[in-house]
Structure 1
Protein backbone atom coordinates (compact mmCIF):
# COMPACT_ATOMS: atom_id res chain seq x y z
CA UNK A 1 0.00 0.00 0.00
CA UNK A 2 2.81 2.41 0.87
CA UNK A 3 4.60 1.65 -2.39
CA UNK A 4 1.45 2.33 -4.43
CA UNK A 5 0.87 5.60 -2.58
CA UNK A 6 4.46 6.73 -3.24
CA UNK A 7 4.18 5.66 -6.87
CA UNK A 8 1.12 7.88 -7.28
CA UNK A 9 2.73 10.82 -5.49
CA UNK A 10 5.90 10.58 -7.57
CA UNK A 11 3.72 10.60 -10.68
CA UNK A 12 1.86 13.62 -9.31
CA UNK A 13 5.18 15.43 -8.78
CA UNK A 14 6.13 14.80 -12.40
CA UNK A 15 2.76 16.10 -13.58
CA UNK A 16 3.05 19.21 -11.40
CA UNK A 17 6.68 19.87 -12.30
CA UNK A 18 6.43 19.22 -16.02
CA UNK A 19 2.94 20.54 -16.77
CA UNK A 20 2.04 22.98 -14.00
CA UNK A 21 -0.59 23.35 -11.31
CA UNK A 22 -3.62 23.26 -13.61
CA UNK A 23 -2.58 19.89 -14.98
CA UNK A 24 -2.54 18.27 -11.55
CA UNK A 25 -5.71 16.14 -11.67
CA UNK A 26 -6.53 12.64 -10.53
CA UNK A 27 -6.87 11.43 -14.13
CA UNK A 28 -3.52 12.96 -15.11
CA UNK A 29 -1.80 11.24 -12.20
CA UNK A 30 -3.45 7.91 -13.05
CA UNK A 31 -2.20 8.22 -16.62
CA UNK A 32 1.31 9.27 -15.59
CA UNK A 33 1.57 6.40 -13.10
CA UNK A 34 0.15 3.89 -15.60
CA UNK A 35 -2.61 2.72 -13.26
CA UNK A 36 -6.35 2.24 -13.64
CA UNK A 37 -8.56 5.30 -13.68
CA UNK A 38 -9.75 6.04 -10.16
CA UNK A 39 -6.63 4.71 -8.44
CA UNK A 40 -5.45 8.16 -7.32
CA UNK A 41 -8.92 9.05 -6.07
CA UNK A 42 -8.91 5.95 -3.87
CA UNK A 43 -5.90 7.32 -1.98
CA UNK A 44 -6.62 11.04 -2.24
CA UNK A 45 -10.39 11.69 -2.48
CA UNK A 46 -10.08 15.41 -3.29
CA UNK A 47 -7.68 17.54 -5.28
CA UNK A 48 -6.74 19.36 -2.09
CA UNK A 49 -5.87 16.08 -0.36
CA UNK A 50 -3.72 15.14 -3.36
CA UNK A 51 -1.92 18.47 -3.34
CA UNK A 52 -1.25 18.40 0.42
CA UNK A 53 0.22 14.90 0.04
CA UNK A 54 2.39 16.12 -2.84
CA UNK A 55 3.71 18.95 -0.67
CA UNK A 56 4.66 16.45 2.03
CA UNK A 57 6.30 14.11 -0.48
CA UNK A 58 8.29 16.94 -2.09
CA UNK A 59 9.48 18.09 1.34
CA UNK A 60 10.63 14.58 2.28
CA UNK A 61 12.40 14.01 -1.05
CA UNK A 62 14.19 17.36 -0.99
CA UNK A 63 15.24 16.84 2.61
CA UNK A 64 16.62 13.40 1.73
CA UNK A 65 18.54 14.79 -1.25
CA UNK A 66 20.00 17.56 0.87
CA UNK A 67 20.92 15.15 3.66
CA UNK A 68 22.84 13.06 1.13
CA UNK A 69 24.94 16.12 0.37
CA UNK A 70 25.23 17.16 4.01
CA UNK A 71 26.74 13.91 5.25
CA UNK A 72 29.51 14.12 2.64
CA UNK A 73 30.39 17.79 3.07
CA UNK A 74 32.64 19.25 5.74
CA UNK A 75 33.95 22.47 4.15
CA UNK A 76 36.77 24.58 5.55
CA UNK A 77 36.98 27.16 2.76
CA UNK A 78 34.50 29.07 0.57
CA UNK A 79 35.80 27.18 -2.48
CA UNK A 80 35.04 23.78 -0.93
CA UNK A 81 31.53 24.82 0.06
CA UNK A 82 31.03 26.51 -3.30
CA UNK A 83 31.80 23.28 -5.15
CA UNK A 84 29.48 21.26 -2.93
CA UNK A 85 26.59 23.70 -3.35
CA UNK A 86 27.22 23.90 -7.09
CA UNK A 87 26.70 20.14 -7.29
CA UNK A 88 23.43 20.50 -5.41
CA UNK A 89 22.32 23.25 -7.80
CA UNK A 90 23.25 21.23 -10.89
CA UNK A 91 21.19 18.31 -9.59
CA UNK A 92 18.27 20.65 -8.88
CA UNK A 93 18.16 21.84 -12.49
CA UNK A 94 19.17 18.50 -13.98
CA UNK A 95 18.46 15.11 -12.44
CA UNK A 96 15.83 16.53 -10.06
CA UNK A 97 14.39 19.11 -12.47
CA UNK A 98 10.75 17.98 -12.19
CA UNK A 99 10.98 17.89 -8.41
CA UNK A 100 12.44 21.41 -8.32
CA UNK A 101 9.79 22.76 -10.67
CA UNK A 102 7.13 21.16 -8.48
CA UNK A 103 8.63 22.91 -5.47
CA UNK A 104 8.43 26.29 -7.17
CA UNK A 105 4.80 25.64 -8.08
CA UNK A 106 4.17 24.80 -4.42
CA UNK A 107 5.90 28.02 -3.33
CA UNK A 108 3.45 30.03 -5.42
CA UNK A 109 0.51 28.24 -3.80
CA UNK A 110 2.04 28.81 -0.36
CA UNK A 111 1.53 32.52 -0.87
CA UNK A 112 -2.16 32.08 -0.03
CA UNK A 113 -2.18 28.80 1.89
CA UNK A 114 -0.88 29.05 5.45
CA UNK A 115 -0.77 25.27 6.01
CA UNK A 116 1.52 24.76 3.04
CA UNK A 117 3.61 27.75 4.10
CA UNK A 118 4.12 26.20 7.55
CA UNK A 119 5.16 22.85 6.07
CA UNK A 120 7.71 24.49 3.80
CA UNK A 121 9.06 26.49 6.72
CA UNK A 122 9.75 23.27 8.64
CA UNK A 123 11.79 21.82 5.79
CA UNK A 124 13.53 25.13 5.21
CA UNK A 125 14.62 25.43 8.83
CA UNK A 126 16.41 22.08 8.60
CA UNK A 127 18.30 23.15 5.48
CA UNK A 128 19.09 26.55 7.02
CA UNK A 129 20.60 24.85 10.06
CA UNK A 130 22.96 22.79 7.87
CA UNK A 131 23.95 25.82 5.80
CA UNK A 132 24.51 28.01 8.86
CA UNK A 133 26.84 25.37 10.28
CA UNK A 134 28.79 25.21 7.00
CA UNK A 135 29.07 29.00 6.89
CA UNK A 136 30.36 28.97 10.44
CA UNK A 137 32.97 26.37 9.45
CA UNK A 138 34.30 28.51 6.60
CA UNK A 139 34.64 31.56 8.80
CA UNK A 140 31.36 33.48 8.79
CA UNK A 141 31.02 35.74 11.81
CA UNK A 142 27.27 36.04 11.28
CA UNK A 143 26.00 32.73 9.81
CA UNK A 144 22.36 33.48 10.61
CA UNK A 145 22.50 36.54 8.35
CA UNK A 146 24.66 34.88 5.72
CA UNK A 147 22.41 31.84 5.37
CA UNK A 148 19.48 33.98 4.23
CA UNK A 149 21.63 35.80 1.68
CA UNK A 150 22.94 32.49 0.37
CA UNK A 151 19.52 30.83 0.33
CA UNK A 152 17.91 33.66 -1.60
CA UNK A 153 20.77 33.67 -4.11
CA UNK A 154 20.57 29.93 -4.72
CA UNK A 155 16.79 30.09 -5.12
CA UNK A 156 17.10 32.81 -7.75
CA UNK A 157 20.00 31.06 -9.47
CA UNK A 158 18.07 27.80 -9.80
CA UNK A 159 14.88 29.54 -10.93
CA UNK A 160 16.72 31.49 -13.63
CA UNK A 161 18.39 28.37 -14.98
CA UNK A 162 15.07 26.52 -15.06
CA UNK A 163 13.34 29.40 -16.85
CA UNK A 164 16.17 30.35 -19.24
CA UNK A 165 18.55 27.39 -19.48
CA UNK A 166 22.20 28.15 -20.17
CA UNK A 167 23.89 25.17 -21.85
CA UNK A 168 27.20 26.23 -20.29
CA UNK A 169 25.76 26.66 -16.80
CA UNK A 170 28.44 26.27 -14.13
CA UNK A 171 27.51 27.91 -10.83
CA UNK A 172 30.58 27.07 -8.72
CA UNK A 173 32.43 30.32 -9.46
CA UNK A 174 29.59 32.68 -8.63
CA UNK A 175 28.57 30.75 -5.51
CA UNK A 176 32.16 30.75 -4.26
CA UNK A 177 32.47 34.50 -4.92
CA UNK A 178 29.33 35.11 -2.87
CA UNK A 179 30.62 32.93 -0.03
CA UNK A 180 33.92 34.79 -0.01
CA UNK A 181 32.10 38.10 0.31
CA UNK A 182 30.04 36.73 3.20
CA UNK A 183 33.04 35.60 5.23
CA UNK A 184 35.32 38.51 4.40
CA UNK A 185 36.07 40.61 7.51
CA UNK A 186 33.75 43.59 7.67
CA UNK A 187 31.57 42.23 4.86
CA UNK A 188 28.37 43.00 6.70
CA UNK A 189 27.66 46.70 6.87
CA UNK A 190 26.59 48.15 10.22
CA UNK A 191 22.98 49.24 10.52
CA UNK A 192 22.66 52.94 9.71
CA UNK A 193 21.29 55.11 12.49
CA UNK A 194 19.73 58.48 11.79
CA UNK A 195 21.17 61.08 14.14
CA UNK A 196 19.74 64.53 14.75
CA UNK A 197 21.36 67.23 12.67
CA UNK A 198 24.17 68.93 14.53
CA UNK A 199 23.89 72.68 15.00
CA UNK A 200 26.77 75.09 15.31
CA UNK A 201 27.47 76.87 18.56
CA UNK A 202 26.60 80.60 18.34
Structure 2
Protein backbone atom coordinates (compact mmCIF):
# COMPACT_ATOMS: atom_id res chain seq x y z
CA UNK A 1 0.00 0.00 0.00
CA UNK A 2 1.24 3.49 -0.86
CA UNK A 3 2.37 5.75 1.95
CA UNK A 4 0.35 8.80 2.95
CA UNK A 5 2.99 11.00 1.32
CA UNK A 6 2.84 9.06 -1.96
CA UNK A 7 -0.97 9.12 -1.96
CA UNK A 8 -0.89 12.89 -1.44
CA UNK A 9 1.58 13.40 -4.29
CA UNK A 10 -0.39 11.18 -6.65
CA UNK A 11 -3.56 13.11 -5.80
CA UNK A 12 -1.76 16.43 -6.26
CA UNK A 13 -0.61 15.40 -9.73
CA UNK A 14 -4.19 14.40 -10.64
CA UNK A 15 -5.52 17.73 -9.36
CA UNK A 16 -3.00 19.88 -11.21
CA UNK A 17 -3.22 17.78 -14.37
CA UNK A 18 -7.01 17.81 -14.37
CA UNK A 19 -7.92 21.19 -12.91
CA UNK A 20 -4.80 23.35 -13.07
CA UNK A 21 -2.43 24.79 -10.50
CA UNK A 22 -5.15 26.72 -8.67
CA UNK A 23 -6.66 23.42 -7.57
CA UNK A 24 -3.49 22.59 -5.65
CA UNK A 25 -4.35 23.15 -2.01
CA UNK A 26 -3.60 20.99 0.98
CA UNK A 27 -7.32 20.48 1.67
CA UNK A 28 -8.10 19.46 -1.91
CA UNK A 29 -5.17 17.07 -1.98
CA UNK A 30 -6.37 15.46 1.24
CA UNK A 31 -9.86 15.07 -0.19
CA UNK A 32 -8.64 13.76 -3.57
CA UNK A 33 -6.37 11.22 -1.86
CA UNK A 34 -9.01 10.18 0.67
CA UNK A 35 -6.75 11.24 3.52
CA UNK A 36 -7.72 12.77 6.87
CA UNK A 37 -7.66 16.57 6.94
CA UNK A 38 -4.18 17.91 7.57
CA UNK A 39 -2.36 14.85 6.26
CA UNK A 40 -0.80 16.60 3.28
CA UNK A 41 0.37 19.52 5.39
CA UNK A 42 2.16 17.08 7.68
CA UNK A 43 4.43 16.22 4.76
CA UNK A 44 4.41 19.57 2.93
CA UNK A 45 4.09 22.50 5.33
CA UNK A 46 3.70 25.17 2.64
CA UNK A 47 2.23 25.33 -0.82
CA UNK A 48 5.74 25.90 -2.23
CA UNK A 49 6.89 22.70 -0.52
CA UNK A 50 3.94 20.85 -2.05
CA UNK A 51 4.71 22.28 -5.50
CA UNK A 52 8.35 21.22 -5.11
CA UNK A 53 7.28 17.74 -4.03
CA UNK A 54 5.05 17.37 -7.08
CA UNK A 55 7.81 18.59 -9.41
CA UNK A 56 10.33 16.14 -7.99
CA UNK A 57 7.84 13.26 -8.08
CA UNK A 58 6.93 13.86 -11.72
CA UNK A 59 10.60 14.10 -12.71
CA UNK A 60 11.49 10.94 -10.78
CA UNK A 61 8.67 9.02 -12.48
CA UNK A 62 9.70 10.25 -15.92
CA UNK A 63 13.41 9.53 -15.34
CA UNK A 64 12.58 6.01 -14.16
CA UNK A 65 10.55 5.39 -17.30
CA UNK A 66 13.35 6.77 -19.49
CA UNK A 67 15.98 4.68 -17.75
CA UNK A 68 13.86 1.54 -18.06
CA UNK A 69 13.43 1.84 -21.81
CA UNK A 70 16.66 3.51 -22.90
CA UNK A 71 18.99 1.18 -21.04
CA UNK A 72 18.96 -1.18 -23.99
CA UNK A 73 19.09 1.42 -26.79
CA UNK A 74 22.33 1.22 -28.73
CA UNK A 75 21.57 2.90 -32.05
CA UNK A 76 20.04 6.16 -33.19
CA UNK A 77 17.09 4.25 -34.70
CA UNK A 78 16.38 2.57 -31.37
CA UNK A 79 16.55 5.90 -29.55
CA UNK A 80 14.26 7.51 -32.14
CA UNK A 81 11.70 4.72 -31.65
CA UNK A 82 11.89 5.00 -27.88
CA UNK A 83 11.67 8.81 -27.78
CA UNK A 84 8.72 8.68 -30.17
CA UNK A 85 6.97 6.15 -27.92
CA UNK A 86 7.70 8.29 -24.86
CA UNK A 87 6.15 11.38 -26.50
CA UNK A 88 3.13 9.26 -27.44
CA UNK A 89 2.89 8.00 -23.87
CA UNK A 90 3.25 11.52 -22.42
CA UNK A 91 0.31 12.68 -24.53
CA UNK A 92 -1.73 9.51 -24.05
CA UNK A 93 -1.42 7.24 -21.05
CA UNK A 94 0.28 9.86 -18.89
CA UNK A 95 -1.47 12.96 -20.21
CA UNK A 96 -2.64 14.04 -16.75
CA UNK A 97 0.91 13.94 -15.39
CA UNK A 98 2.19 15.78 -18.46
CA UNK A 99 -0.42 18.52 -18.10
CA UNK A 100 0.57 18.85 -14.44
CA UNK A 101 4.23 19.19 -15.43
CA UNK A 102 3.52 21.95 -17.93
CA UNK A 103 1.18 23.76 -15.55
CA UNK A 104 3.95 23.70 -12.97
CA UNK A 105 6.46 24.99 -15.55
CA UNK A 106 4.30 28.07 -15.89
CA UNK A 107 3.76 28.33 -12.14
CA UNK A 108 7.48 28.28 -11.45
CA UNK A 109 8.10 30.98 -14.04
CA UNK A 110 5.91 33.34 -12.00
CA UNK A 111 7.09 32.20 -8.56
CA UNK A 112 10.82 32.68 -7.98
CA UNK A 113 10.89 30.38 -4.92
CA UNK A 114 9.46 27.51 -6.93
CA UNK A 115 12.03 27.73 -9.75
CA UNK A 116 14.85 25.93 -7.93
CA UNK A 117 13.31 22.44 -7.96
CA UNK A 118 12.29 22.82 -11.61
CA UNK A 119 15.80 23.91 -12.62
CA UNK A 120 17.36 21.07 -10.64
CA UNK A 121 15.17 18.50 -12.36
CA UNK A 122 15.78 20.07 -15.79
CA UNK A 123 19.54 19.94 -15.30
CA UNK A 124 19.29 16.22 -14.50
CA UNK A 125 17.41 15.61 -17.75
CA UNK A 126 19.93 17.70 -19.69
CA UNK A 127 22.87 15.80 -18.22
CA UNK A 128 21.27 12.46 -18.98
CA UNK A 129 20.38 13.50 -22.55
CA UNK A 130 23.87 14.93 -23.10
CA UNK A 131 25.35 11.53 -22.17
CA UNK A 132 22.98 9.78 -24.55
CA UNK A 133 23.86 12.14 -27.41
CA UNK A 134 27.56 11.69 -26.71
CA UNK A 135 27.16 7.91 -26.81
CA UNK A 136 25.40 8.19 -30.17
CA UNK A 137 28.30 10.24 -31.55
CA UNK A 138 26.97 13.81 -31.58
CA UNK A 139 29.78 16.27 -32.27
CA UNK A 140 28.27 18.76 -29.83
CA UNK A 141 26.43 16.72 -27.18
CA UNK A 142 25.41 19.85 -25.23
CA UNK A 143 23.67 21.48 -28.19
CA UNK A 144 22.25 18.13 -29.33
CA UNK A 145 20.77 17.48 -25.89
CA UNK A 146 19.16 20.90 -25.71
CA UNK A 147 17.79 20.48 -29.24
CA UNK A 148 16.30 17.03 -28.60
CA UNK A 149 14.73 18.15 -25.31
CA UNK A 150 13.25 21.19 -27.05
CA UNK A 151 11.90 19.15 -29.96
CA UNK A 152 10.28 16.56 -27.68
CA UNK A 153 8.83 19.30 -25.45
CA UNK A 154 7.49 21.11 -28.50
CA UNK A 155 5.88 17.94 -29.82
CA UNK A 156 4.24 17.33 -26.47
CA UNK A 157 2.85 20.87 -26.21
CA UNK A 158 1.64 20.70 -29.81
CA UNK A 159 -0.15 17.39 -29.18
CA UNK A 160 -1.65 18.65 -25.90
CA UNK A 161 -3.04 21.76 -27.56
CA UNK A 162 -3.57 22.15 -31.30
CA UNK A 163 -2.60 18.86 -32.94
CA UNK A 164 -3.50 15.85 -30.76
CA UNK A 165 -2.90 13.47 -33.67
CA UNK A 166 0.22 15.24 -34.95
CA UNK A 167 3.03 13.01 -36.20
CA UNK A 168 5.81 12.19 -33.78
CA UNK A 169 8.38 9.81 -35.23
CA UNK A 170 9.18 11.76 -38.42
CA UNK A 171 9.88 14.87 -36.34
CA UNK A 172 11.98 13.05 -33.75
CA UNK A 173 13.91 11.31 -36.52
CA UNK A 174 14.63 14.55 -38.38
CA UNK A 175 15.82 16.22 -35.18
CA UNK A 176 17.98 13.25 -34.16
CA UNK A 177 19.59 12.91 -37.59
CA UNK A 178 20.28 16.64 -37.60
CA UNK A 179 21.83 16.50 -34.12
CA UNK A 180 24.08 13.61 -35.10
CA UNK A 181 25.22 15.12 -38.37
CA UNK A 182 25.82 18.69 -37.26
- 1:176 corresponding residue in structure 2: 173
- 1:198 corresponding residue in structure 2: none
Offset of residue 115 of structure 1: 4.3
- CA 1:126–1:73 in 2, change beyond 3 Å: closer, same or farther? farther
Counterpart CA distance in 2 for 1:4 and 1:117 is 26
- 1:16 corresponding residue in structure 2: 16
- 1:28 corresponding residue in structure 2: 28
- 1:193 corresponding residue in structure 2: none
Q: Which has the greater radius of gyration? A: 1
Corresponding pairs, count: 182
Tell me the TM-score normalised to structure 2 length. 0.87
Match of 2:82 among 73, 84, 94: 84
Tell me the TM-score normalised to structure 1 length. 0.79
Counterpart CA distance in 2 for 1:24 and 1:5 is 15
Greater percentage in helix: 2
Structure 2 unaligned spans of 5+:
none
Q: Report Cα offsets for 1:93-133 as digits up to 9, x if no partner.
A: 11221111111111112213344323222222222233223
Counterpart CA distance in 1 for 2:120 and 2:126 is 10
Larger displacement relative to structure 2 (120-129 or 91-100): 120-129
Larger displacement relative to structure 2 (20-29 or 48-57): 48-57
Counterpart CA distance in 1 for 2:49 and 2:119 is 20
- 2:46 corresponding residue in structure 1: 46
- 1:192 corresponding residue in structure 2: none
